[in-house]
Amino acid sequence: VVPERVRQSVALSWDGRSLRLLDQTLLPAEERWIEPRDAAGTAAAIRTLSVRGAPLIGIAAAYGMAMEIAADPTPQGVERAWRTLRTARPTAVNLGHAVDRVRDAALTAAPDDIAAAARSEAEAVHAEEDAASAAIAVAGADLLEGARRALTLCNTGALAAGGSGSALAVLLELHGREPDLEVLVCETRPLLQGARLTVWELARAGVRHSLIVDSAAAGLLARREADAVIVGCDRVAANGDVANKVGTYGLALAAREAGVPFVVAGPASTLDPSVASGDQIAIEERGADEVRTVGGTALTLAGTSVRNPAFDVTPAALVSALVTERGVVHAPSAATLASLLGDGRRSEGGAGVSRSSQGSEDRLR
Ligand code: MRU
């Protein structure tokens, strides 16, 4: 039987019934795919970071819902799938958005259509994230036009999204226009998404890059060794405060001090108008062994007390621009974000919101 609807991303594939995920915990040493069969299996893959990155965990969770609901197409099955997945990780809002969408679609469908409605909604989430990546890449590259050196954190590319990603997608688009582009990649302790994943993507794309330890970033920015910092986001509050991979706030402070633009890129699904400001965003704290060990080797004394927040919050005042598929928000604030969210397509020209390709006055440099 030929699968009805195949949707393929770099790290996720869906054939209409079953889900395959590239196990990102093993990259770059090994490219192994795993096949969660239900909501619990998908939630486990999200918790362990086999699948990660705000947009991609939303897509994976949507398909986890679809699989669970296909096996039990009842309102009880829908609720069970939703409960299992919604809290798999707390910070990236994309996960909650995606599972709420699939639940709502399933619960408003006729009884015989519950499974099909869940599946269609999950596929719509995937398609929308895919399209968002493409638009973000172009808008961000327009904004950064002329930049030759950029610094980034974590992994925000195709491994983190349905399409080409957010911040890293911008850099790949920029590389297409400026082949001399050079990227400084923060290794991103403790799980090394920069060293393991962003380097993997940049090498495959033929983009010049250098890996740096996270603590080198501030000094390199002070020496103006980057023309811009660009990062992704996991949740943007109504006032423009940005939760993203731990270390983002420090980069933003260093960039401000050095006079280097600090740009955040992410799909509209990462905006959370229900949260007034960043101090209300739940910050995931992960296990101590992620810090105490690397690759199973102890780095410190066994039992050492650890704090391991996976994310931090950067105040909107430190953000030069927020790039979304709906446009670029310069100096994000409650007013400019409300304008962006008010009506996606007609936001162009709203207060502080622009299509970055409008003209050079919209560029950062
Ligand atoms: O813990 P992770 O690897 O899921 O964290 C990912 C990030 O913080 C990314 O910057 C963010 O999700 C944006 S991905 C396009």
**Top mutation candidate among 50, 94, 154, 311 for ligand 1, by most atoms within 8 Å of CB:** 154
Q: Are strands 242-245 and 311-314 parallel, antiparallel or unpaired?
A: antiparallel
pLDDT in tens, 64-105: 999 999 999 999 999 999 999 999 999 999 999 999 999 999
Q: What is the pLDDT of residue 348?
A: 45
Is any ligand 1 atom within 6 A of the Cβ of residue 235?
no
Is 234 a catalytic site residue? yes
Q: Is 156 in the pocket of ligand 1 (CB under 6 A)?
A: yes
pLDDT for 349: 47
Ligand 1 closest atom vs CA 166? 15
Give tens-digit pLDDT for 142-191: 999 999 999 999 999 999 999 999 999 999 999 999 999 999 999 999 99
Q: Is 89 in the pocket of ligand 1 (CB under 6 A)?
A: no
Q: What is the dihedral of CA 159, 162, 168, 172, to 10 degrees?
A: 110
Ligand 1 pocket, residue 248 CB under 6 Å: no
> Model-level pTM greater than 0.85?
yes
Residue reference for tokens 């990155």:
53
Distance, CA of 147 to CA of 182 (rounded, Å): 9
Strand-pair partners of 237? 272
Neighbours of 345 (CB within 10 A): 7
- In this structure, the strands spanning 208-212 and 182-186 are parallel
Residues of the chain with pLDDT under 50: 1-3, 344-349, 356-361
Q: How far is the CA of 61 from the centre of ligand 1 (A)?
A: 15
3-class SS letters over the chain: CCCCCCEECCCEEECCCCEEEECCCCCCCCCCEECCCCHHHHHHHHHCCCCCCHHHHHHHHHHHHHHHHHHCCCHHHHHHHHHHHHCCCCCCHHHHHHHHHHHHHHHCCCHHHHHHHHHHHHHHHHHHHHHHHHHHHHHHHHHCCCCCEEEECCCCCHHHCCCCCCHHHHHHHHHHHCCCCEEEEECCCCCCHHHHHHHHHHHHHCCEEEEECHHHHHHHHHCCCCCEEEECCCEEECCCCEEEECCHHHHHHHHHHHCCCEEEECCHHHEECCCCCHHHCCCCECCCHHHHEECCEECCCCCCCCCCECEEEECHHHCCEEEECCEEEECCCHHHHHHHHHCCHHHCCCCCEECHHHCHHHCCC
Counting from 1 in the atom list of ligand 1, the atom nearest the Cα of 167 is: 15
Question: Closest ligand 1 atom, CA of 310?
Answer: 1
Catalytic residue selected from 234, 241, 272, 312 = 234
What per-residue confidence (pLDDT) applies to 355?
55
From the alpha carbon of 165, which atom of ligand 1 is closest?
15
Q: In the numeric block, which tokens belong to residue 108?
A: 């408003």
Q: How far apart are CA 268 and CA 85, in angstroms?
A: 21
244 CB near ligand 1 (under 6 Å): yes
Q: Is the CB of 160 under 6 A from ligand 1?
A: yes
